[in-house]
Structure 1
Amino acid sequence: MRLHVFCNPHRPHRGRACRPGRRPVGPRNSRGRVILASLIGTTIEFYDFYAYATAAVLVFPALFFPTGNETTALLSSFAVFGAAMVARPIGAVVFGHFGDRYGRKATLVASLLTMGVATFLIGVLPTHTQIGWWAALLLVVLRIAQGFALGGEWSGAALVATENAPKGKRAWYGTFPQLGAPIGFIIANGLFLTINEVTGGAEGAFLEWGWRVPFLFSAVMVIIGLWVRLRLVESSAFEKASKKGTIRKVPLGVVFRDHWKQLILGTFFMLATYVLFYLMTTFTLTWGTKPATAEVAAAAAEAKGIAFNASAFYPGGGFAYHDFVLMQIIGVVFFGLFTLLSGPVADAIGRRKLLIWVTVAIIVFGLSFNLFLLPQADPKFAGALVQAFLIFGFLLMGSTFGPMGALLPELFPTNVRYTGSAVAYNVSSILGAAVAPFIALALWDAVKSPWLVGVYLAAMAVLTLIALLLGKETKDVDYEDAGVASTSVL
């Protein structure tokens, strides 16, 4: 009997003879490559998204929506921000389709390129004073392109991480694409903050050219991200599904037909996370840096029996931009830490159990907004309370966001995992993130108090809690389940 000699062509033997009888070992993604590929892509995507979110508050109302009314201009800017959320489910369907049919690698490269090009072009857009309302229209188009790309990015990155994870560490690996959110926030806002300082805080210089730099800088990050992702190979889970012939022609149809319950549950699993996240970022930046009138401040202080001192008063709004962004960045550090910590905990006790407790904490946090955000006579005390508010909010954000990288993909088999998790994740963005800044701003303006905004967060968290109680634990599901073979055209 003749022995066949097998060698791994990707690992040189340095002159040593190959051992007989061994099968060829195909290339696999190393742990470092998996972590970096899933982390850097979402970091870039969230960086681009945050760059817009910051500019939506500080720059775009003046440069693209000069309505003559501050509130109307801000709401118009937020409307464009929300338009991207509507585009995200469309991106989830398109990128999910190609990701489930042809593989994760090419799809992730396409989503990264789409986001990078759209963000760079925002940085070179002419403003309203140059081309009129065409500027706003072009901004809407590019913002929709951003949302379209982000719709396919998250799920693909989560699959790269979790489908290559060692046994028993899926939730921990799933936290690495989630970590891109706090890192992207810090880079984007840190860069805006630096540019604001370089321009000497001069509004004219910042509005004239400074705001463009973060958008143009994204090109450098995209090049790095492409280099990393082009070196990936497909996961064994997808290869197994392909070999078994379970790849579907229309993955979306299979998801709606066979996995609609998981789709609905996954959407509501993410609801509280999205509302909390956009309240802690976009809304708080608006609230924290928008000057309040003396009448509103006096009325709020009088309601609490506090002597009003206009010169020393820190109202709900009125922090300097520099000071408030630094406070947000401090809070986001806790976001990142608890995102990482949530992974091992979810692997140990289960995703569902951890998220139930965190969601209950979010409900309590929402009902405690008045404790943190009501005006105080002492500005130092007010600043400390707001900083504590940001830390607690972002801490809870990391704790609920981290396990989602494993939980949502675990709801679906391999052959529709990209589509199913992407649609659930991004439909939730419409129900939560797209409307959260509008609702929060409207509630604040209606009562000039934070308590109703907190009640809104608590109510959305109750819906998430109900979904978690109805759902099942996914920690021990067979993640290489390729899906049942079928002769259906779907």
Structure 2
Amino acid sequence: MSETAVPSGTIAAEPSRSVSRVAAASLIGTTIEYYDFAVYGTAAALVLGPAFFPTGTPAAQTLAAFLTFAGAFLARPVGVVLFGTLGDRLGRKPALVLSLLLMGAATVGVGLLPTYASAGLLAPVLLVMLRLLQGVSMGGEWGGAVLLAAEHAPPRRRAMYASIPQAGPPLGFLLSSAAILPTLAIAGRDGFAAGAWRIPFLLSAVLIVIGIWVRSRVEESPVFATTPRQATSRFPLGILLKEHPGRLVLGIGAAIGGSSVYYLTTVYSLQYGPAVLGVPQNTVLVAASIAATAGALATVPIARLADRVGRRPVMLAGLIGCVLWVLPMFGSLRTGNGLLITGAFAIGLLLFTLSFAPIAAFLPELFPARLRYTGASTTFILANTLGGGFAPVVATWLNTQWASPLVLGVYAGTLCLVSLVCVLVLPETREQEFSS
């Protein structure tokens, strides 16, 4: 099945204002999606265990809440198949609008759910169902967002534009903190647990309306628009597995380590630090928020560097740094010192960003245009699921076996070593022609 090449000037000639608008639309969407995900992760660490899974010990309640968190990641591959097929056959833009609508409906739905005390077993069942819908939505969001930005971008600035949606996860986490911290301060811990936890979920409705409005105003990807319809497949994932199994597996491995570092820092530590080590809740939340800010601010400059020197050197530097730093980073939790924890987390998420920012261009560049939405989404989402979605669950179990935060560093460091090997095996993609 052949593809006709797009003239090299087609993408480069895209007006800079249009490219900037597309990048902003991609960023807004991923920020909103990760806001929704981060609100759940934080609420799971704080209150959702007792509210929806009241039987058992506090540790069992927390584990149940984190298992529900992981359940959404299990649903992400369904989203990859659904939205990857839509994105590779019908276009990046309609797939992205639908994913945002689905995420918004699921998140607002969580904010409206009855708790176990008023609805019994129906409450956790409904919570799991809505989390699965969130997961399906996230399965289509990342690939479409980075492709919409990257396929509009000039070739020499592809990593920079593709990285802009990559700032969405830390920005989404910051937005969730901006909603949760004041709510906690005003309502208090008891008031938050009694029902104020719903407020950040319901606020998602406002963000979704803004996101849909912005995304509806952008143009379709020029690469997709000029790809012959006969070049598309009815089931892109099947073609991907047949033609590119090696790159698929290595791409998953390349992103798995960074995912573990990010979710252990911004989700698991929020529960582990206060509950197990006695670190004040606000200390850990503020430390993670400052670290996420540092990562967000560094995302575009790091990606610009990847445009100059290549994707692999920048990613390798970040992964090596993570392997060396994760032990002292998570070990800082034992000190209980807010400044030390904040500094350690900030350095850790900056190193994470070195591996994370270029991957938005690196993974799509591994696959041809007709399979790119599915290929990029599959590699990233499966890495995020295996490395990030199960990180809080695995970490909770590990800390029942070894009562030390250092075990978190061993776990994350091992996955970062896997990523390091995979990036070494994969080729440099900076010169890859994006229209093929």
Pair in the same fold by TM > 0.5: yes
Q: Deviations over 1:305-353 (max 9, x none)?
A: xxxxxxxxxxxx2222223211211111111122122111100110011
Distance across 1 between alignment mates of 2:189 and 2:319: 42
Residues 260, 415 of structure 2: 8 Å contact kept: yes
Residue of structure 2 in register with 1:212 after alignment:
198
Residue of structure 2 in register with 1:75 after alignment:
63
Q: Deviations over 1:92-124 (max 9, x none)?
A: 111000100011111101000000000011000
Residue of structure 1 in register with 2:409 after alignment:
454
Distance across 2 between alignment mates of 1:389 and 1:284: 13
Residue of structure 2 in register with 1:323 after alignment:
283
Residue of structure 1 in register with 2:255 after alignment:
270
Which of the two has greater helix per residue?
A: 2
Once the 2 structures are TM-superposed, how far is the Cα of residue 129 of structure 1 from its aligned partner?
0.4
Residue of structure 1 in register with 2:107 after alignment:
119
Give ranges in structure 1 of 5+ residues lacking alignment: 1-24, 293-316, 482-490
Residues 14, 152 of structure 2: 8 Å contact kept: no
* Residue 399 (structure 1) aligned with residue 354 (structure 2): yes
How do 1:162-201 and structure 2 match up within 5 A?
Answer: 162-199=150-187, 201=188
Letter in 2 for 1:366: V
Residues 372, 388 of structure 1: 8 Å contact kept: no
Give the counterpart of 1:233 among 219, 240, 247.
219
How do 1:133-152 and structure 2 match up within 5 A?
Answer: 133-152=121-140
Residues 27, 233 of structure 1: 8 Å contact kept: no
How do 1:74-473 and structure 2 match up within 5 A?
Answer: 74-199=62-187, 201-203=188-190, 205-242=191-228, 245-290=230-275, 292=276, 317-369=277-329, 372-375=332-335, 382-473=337-428
- Say which SS state the counterpart of residue 67 (structure 1) adopts: coil
Once the 2 structures are TM-superposed, how far is the Cα of residue 369 of structure 1 from its aligned partner?
4.6
Distance across 1 between alignment mates of 2:211 and 2:140: 15
408-417 vs 421-430, greater mean Cα deviation: 421-430
**How many residues are treated as equivalent by the alignment?**
424
Residue of structure 2 in register with 1:11 after alignment:
none
* Two-structure CA RMSD over aligned residues (Å): 1.7
- Give the direction of change, closer, same or farther, for the CA distance of 1:373–1:109 in structure 2 (3 Å limit): same
Distance across 1 between alignment mates of 2:15 and 2:391: 44
Distance across 2 between alignment mates of 1:249 and 1:29: 34
- Give the direction of change, closer, same or farther, for the CA distance of 1:27–1:101 in structure 2 (3 Å limit): farther
Q: Deviations over 1:277-301 (max 9, x none)?
A: 11111111112221x4xxxxxxxxx
Once the 2 structures are TM-superposed, how far is the Cα of residue 60 of structure 1 from its aligned partner?
0.6
Letter in 2 for 1:58: L
Residues 101, 248 of structure 1: 8 Å contact kept: yes
Residue of structure 2 in register with 1:488 after alignment:
none
- Give the direction of change, closer, same or farther, for the CA distance of 1:256–1:29 in structure 2 (3 Å limit): farther
Distance across 2 between alignment mates of 1:73 and 1:359: 34
- Say which SS state the counterpart of residue 464 (structure 1) adopts: helix
Distance across 2 between alignment mates of 1:91 and 1:97: 9
Once the 2 structures are TM-superposed, how far is the Cα of residue 371 of structure 1 from its aligned partner?
5.2
Letter in 2 for 1:197: A
Q: Deviations over 1:7-61 (max 9, x none)?
A: xxxxxxxxxxxxxxxxxx9999702311211100000000000010011011111
Once the 2 structures are TM-superposed, how far is the Cα of residue 207 of structure 1 from its aligned partner?
1.9
Once the 2 structures are TM-superposed, how far is the Cα of residue 242 of structure 1 from its aligned partner?
2.6
Letter in 1 for 2:274: T
